[in-house]
Amino acid sequence: MFEVNGVYANRKGKYTVLAINPPKMRVRYADGTEADLKMELQERIWENILVEREAEKASRRKKRGKKGTGYYIKVVAIPEEDDLTFPGWPERVVMGPLPEMAISLNQDDRIIFYDKESKMFFAVATVNGPGKTANPQKYFFTAVTGKREFFPIDIDTAALKLEHGTPVEAIELESQPNFRSLQLEPESFLPINEDDFELLAEALSEVAEEEMEDDLLADDFEEEEEI
């Protein structure tokens, strides 16, 4: 394993091998001091150091490769008789992805809500805290059993009425080009890129502004009638 002029290390520091005379070898440390070390012991130490270094490298790679903000479409099913009422919406929580989705939801991730029944995008939200495990029945997820993770959300913008949302036909998604033909299940998540998210968020912001203007006009009309 060791070679003359090879550079290795132990807990004292780096050293250069000067000569090999099994079971020992002569080494010189970076500070100039020399020592005779047992090769078998130094081999175990060096192997442990290599394992530690590889673990540190893997950790750094993971941090460098870790995604920043995640962008997702969250699929829900809103009953026709209810107006923007579905499990978790009143409580401002969203149920996390199923394990088989291989998606990790985190604080500060952004979400576009999509109703599979009306095929409308209708809200923009931001995850504002870490997930907490809870019984789905607490949020009326009657179709789900067992404990699941729930994330608190802020609603950044939303259509007041589902029918005023953005229809799927009006949007082309670069990161999900086959979105219209997908067989979507409620409570599923689809990752999208930031550009697609901004496209949908802008469209829904315009919807909210139009609804606000309509409400103001309606209020003005009522005031005029009263006069």
Q: What is the pLDDT along the chain (227 residues), one digit of tens a residue?
A: 899 999 999 989 999 999 999 999 999 999 999 999 999 999 999 999 898 888 876 665 554 444 589 999 999 988 875 567 788 898 999 999 987 788 889 999 999 999 999 999 999 999 999 999 888 877 666 556 677 899 999 999 998 888 889 999 999 999 999 999 999 998 899 999 999 999 999 999 888 777 666 555 544 444 445 54
Using DSSP's 3-state secondary structure scheme, residue 83 falls into: coil
Pick the CATH number of 71-226 from 3.30.300, 3.10.590, 1.10.10, 3.30.70: 3.10.590
Residue 132 CB partners (closer than 8 Å, separation 6+)? 149, 150, 151
Beta pairing, strands 71-76 & 110-115: parallel
Query: Domain residues of the chain, as ranges?
Result: 7-65, 71-226
Q: Would you state the structure tokens that stand for residue 22, as one six-digit string?
A: 């099994």
Q: Would you state the structure tokens that stand for residue 194, as one six-digit string?
A: 């930031």
